[in-house]
Amino acid sequence: MTEALQTGRSDDPCDAIFKALADGTRRALLEHLVREGEQNVVALTAVGGVSQPMVSRHMGKLKRAGLVTARRAGRETWFAARAKGMAPVAQWMAVYGALWSQRFAALEELEPA
């Protein structure tokens, strides 16, 4: 982590996930896939409210982050949410959740009764 702070670079998979989820349209598309299951680009265009090329671009970023899978069927590309895609973020949150819980518990011990 110190090296990442010094160089500004990191190979942490959480970085790609957080960058992919930083965009509201991508979050909405991913949420739709989680709720509705596998969808093609045409269906996602109707949901996303953006052009087909933009949906394809957003889905490419989600795929590179490991949050969706893509499969070709003829001329169509179908996308599905990848359940394990959020695992690095969940693990990161678990570590920091435990750390913050310890810190808050220590602060509560310092409070006068």
**Global pTM value:** 0.76
**pLDDT band for position 105 (cuts 50, 70, 90):** confident
98 versus 39: the higher-pLDDT residue is: 39
In a domain, 3, yes or no: no
In a domain, 16, yes or no: yes
In a domain, 59, yes or no: yes
Residues 3-24 have a mean pLDDT of: 78
In a domain, 42, yes or no: yes
In a domain, 2, yes or no: no
Query: % helix / strand / coil in the chain, to the nearest 5?
Result: 70, 10, 20
pLDDT surpasses 90 at 104 = no
In a domain, 1, yes or no: no
At 92, which CATH number?
A: 1.10.10.10
Percent of the chain with pLDDT over 90: 59
Q: Which domain holds residue 34?
A: 10-110
What is the per-residue pLDDT across 32-59, written as a single tens digit (0 to 9) for each?
A: 999 999 999 999 999 878 999 999 999 9
Q: How many domains does the chain have?
A: 1
What does the alpha-carbon distance between residue 2 and residue 66 come to, in Å, rounded to a whole number? 25
